[in-house]
Amino acid sequence: MCGLPYLQPMQFKIRIATTKELRTFFQAFTKSVAEDFPAYTHNTILYLLQDVFSLKSLQEEIKKGICQIFLASVNKRIVGYLVSTHPYGGVGFCNWIAVYPDYRKKGLASALLETWEKKAQKDGAHKVHLWTDRRNIEFYKKRGYILVGRIPDNFFGANDYLFYKTFGKSSEKKFLKDFLKRRI
């Protein structure tokens, strides 16, 4: 190893963000969207960050239970994230996933996906969906995702690839559990 000291495996934690952590997350998210998603133009990035995924809209969606943000941290520093929707009709959707450059290829993205998948199942999902670009096709295939296909010139002009992963058969009892509890 050329005299390099033995490196311990990276110790990281994954948790669901609270509304109190959103300002810190949003700073990191803003930088990441600008640097890690080359398909988007400057104007599109501004639109996404100032409108669709603004700090205010994320706060509102978390409070309403529509959105969940999973944070990966090392020594209390955010180094990756996964933004998803709460399962709807038994299906969860991953809007964004990113791991910061110095922390890639260390298992964080896999851990974020696994944590999200478990939470989605607990919340009644039988399936999850996500979009990606061509850089990540093999990553998702290795984690059991099925490639549906390529959609050229998709959202905001990006060439997207749609993936899904199935955990089991759909169950009305599971995906309507919160609604059914309120009716009793």
Within a domain: 45: yes
Per-residue pLDDT for 1 more than 50? no
Say whether pLDDT at 138 is over 70.
yes
Contact call for residues 87 and 175 (beta carbons, < 8 A)? yes
Does 1 reside within a domain?
A: no
Q: How far apart are CA 33 and CA 145, in angstroms?
A: 23
- The structural domain count of the chain equals 1
- Say what the pTM is: 0.89
Q: Using the Cα atoms of residue 107, residue 128, residue 133 and residue 55 in order, give the sign of their dihedral.
A: negative
Q: Is residue 4 part of a domain?
A: no
Per-residue pLDDT, averaged over 136-158, amounts to 96
8 domain residue, yes or no: no
Its domain, for residue 78, covers: 13-183
**Cβ pair 67, 86 in contact under 8 A:** yes
**CATH code for the domain in which residue 177 is found:** 3.40.630.30
Q: Hunting for tokens 């996906």 — which residue is that? A: 113
